[in-house]
Each structure stands twice: as C-alpha cells, then as structure tokens.
Amino acid sequence: MEKLLYFNTGTEDSLAVPASNLYMIDGANDAVVLYFTPKGANGSLLSSVSLTCADGASDALVLAIAQAIAGGRQDEVVVIADDANSVYVDSAITAVGTITADATVAFS
C-alpha cells in the first residue's frame, strides 16, 4: 500500500487519493489548492481540493503540506484536512472548501 492523502468537508464529501498522484500545490489569497492527476493520464486533471486558510498563511501552508506528505511512512494515511473531526495537518487550515473529483478521466 502507498501513502494516501485524506480530505473531508464535514458534509459527507470526502476523498482519499494516493500521494503519488499529487501534481501540484498552489497557494494564493488565503487558499491552497491541491491538484491530482491519475497515473499515465498525460496531465489530465482527475481531482482537486481547495482549502481555506488563515489570513496571509497560504505560502507557509503550502510548505507545511509538502513536508507532511514527504515525511512519515509510505504506507500511511495522512489527514490533510478533516472538517468532520477538526483534524488538520496545520493549524492555519480553516476549512476544506471544495472537493472536485472526475473519475471518468481515469478510465477514458
């Protein structure tokens, strides 16, 4: 098993995705967006997760998320943001904004 990243909006919308599918983490204007692509998809976007964060914290949050993903064991689940249980990889995260997933890209 490989490392999985977990997100939950607190409204029965959650996503667990392999860390190896992470394409990019983009931080700007008090928000951070993680983009994921399926393996072998030639850059096709599979899903994204937007996180809201404290004022002025987006740059530091990108680094904190990257360090959390890079550290630890390869066979673990890393909770990046879980609104249902108020668990966050960094205290600067205020909420999971949206989870967008398109499974059709992975199978087309």
Per-residue pLDDT tens digits of the chain, which is 108 residues long: 789 999 999 999 999 999 999 999 999 999 999 999 877 656 566 799 999 999 999 999 999 999 999 988 888 999 999 999 999 999 999 999 999 987 665 555
Contact 89, 16 (CB under 8 A): no
pLDDT of residue 1: 73
* Residue 108 C-beta-side C-alpha neighbours within 13 Å: 10
Q: For the chain, how many residues are written?
A: 108
Sheet with 22-28, strands from edge to edge, namely 22-28, 31-36, 47-53, 93-101
Give the number of other Cβ atoms within 10 Å of residue 55's Cβ: 9
Q: How many domains does the chain have?
A: 1
pLDDT of residue 74: 83
Instruction: For residue 4, give both structure tokens.
Output: 């999985």
Does this model's pTM top 0.75?
yes
Domain span including residue 25: 4-107
